Amino acid sequence: MKATLSFNLPEERDEFETAVNASKYKAALWEISQRVFRPARKHGYADARIQSILDRANTMSVPSMDGYTEDVVDLGTELIGQLEKLFYEILNEEGVEL
């Protein structure tokens, strides 16, 4: 199967660049998923400052649902997990699969 894309240059230069560089964009999104989100739930961050911030956030206590006790939860990891979920929801909405 072959496909040919046509662009009216220079008017459609941005569209042309996007099409030509699509594999780079996909690779960058994959790297974001692996280097930004994955370390929080797997092996930790190589960047000591990021890991230190995450560790501090993970030791915070928050009011429990009953309002009477304090629960220590991994808030930092939970936050990153929610951001990762949002990241993949956006990709899905745009029809992008990694």
| pLDDT tens by residue, 29-55 | 999 999 999 999 889 999 999 999 999
Tokens of 6: 């046509």
Q: How many Cβ atoms are within 10 Å of 84's Cβ, its own excluded?
A: 17
Please compute the mean of the pLDDT values over residues 5-27 and round it to a whole number. Answer: 96
Which residue in this structure is represented by tokens 């790297």?
Answer: 31
Q: How far apart are CA 54 and CA 73, in angstroms?
A: 12
**Cβ–Cβ under 8 Å, residues 47 and 40:** no
The pLDDT score that the predictor gives to residue 70 is 63
Indicate the pLDDT class of residue 59, thresholds 50, 70 and 90: confident
> 75 forms bridges with which residues in the sheet?
none
Three-state DSSP class for residue 5: coil
What pTM, to 2 d.p., does this model score? 0.79
